[in-house]
């Protein structure tokens, strides 16, 4: 049980607790907090452009921060890394090859167990990547609990049924 978290902000810990309950997520929205941000996109171009903008802003504000973009699968990470690298310094981290330095690390859930990053972005927090099943619940739990400062949940399409407040589709604006 996740009684106390010394690593994650309170809002991230609360989200993790909802995943540990193993029951359908409530229709209530995520806890209002700067530590957890949920943003939907109409298509991949908008998602990538917004991630690049957010990551640039983050790098300007805190150049020493550790940042991970955590996709559900290795193929999804391999697809996203070069797209992000078109607009900022980003690299695909696999087989434990993390630098915890300036480049944004793009990786998958299987690679981050036991690791910690200041900022975590989950670009595919959708029903397709994280359906209502035990494996997806564990994977999403691992991904969100890697953050020590801020978590961004992004997606194209319908939010994962594991997320609180999932009833609303991602905002197309």
Of 64, 56, 57, nearest to 89 by C-alpha is 56
Pick from 14-18, 23-27, 50-54, 82-86: least confident:
23-27
Q: What is the pTM of this model?
A: 0.87
Half-sphere exposure of residue 58, counting CA atoms within 13 Å on the CB side? 25
Of 36, 47, 87, nearest to 172 by C-alpha is 47
pLDDT in tens, 106-125: 999 999 998 999 999 999 99
pLDDT in tens, 128-138: 999 999 999 99
Q: Is 165 a residue whose pLDDT tops 80?
A: no
Q: Is 166 a residue whose pLDDT tops 70?
A: no
> pLDDT-derived band of residue 169, with 50, 70 and 90 as boundaries?
very low
């Amino acid at each position: 049980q996740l009684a106390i978290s010394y690593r994650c902000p309170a809002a991230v810990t609360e989200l993790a607790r909802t995943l540990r309950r193993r029951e359908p997520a409530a229709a209530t929205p995520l806890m209002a907090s700067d530590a957890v941000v949920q943003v939907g996109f109409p298509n991949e171009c908008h998602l990538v452009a917004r991630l690049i903008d957010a990551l640039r802003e983050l790098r300007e504000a805190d150049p020493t921060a550790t940042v991970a973009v955590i996709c559900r699968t290795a193929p999804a990470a391999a697809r996203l890394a070069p797209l992000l690298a078109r607009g900022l310094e980003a690299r695909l981290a696999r087989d434990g090859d993390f630098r915890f330095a300036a480049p944004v690390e793009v990786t998958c859930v299987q690679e981050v167990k036991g690791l910690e990053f200041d900022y975590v972005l989950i670009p595919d927090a959708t029903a397709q990547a994280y359906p209502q099943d035990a494996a997806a619940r564990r994977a999403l739990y691992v991904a969100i609990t890697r953050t020590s400062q801020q978590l961004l949940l992004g997606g194209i399409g319908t939010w994962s049924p594991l997320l609180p407040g999932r009833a609303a589709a991602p905002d197309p604006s």
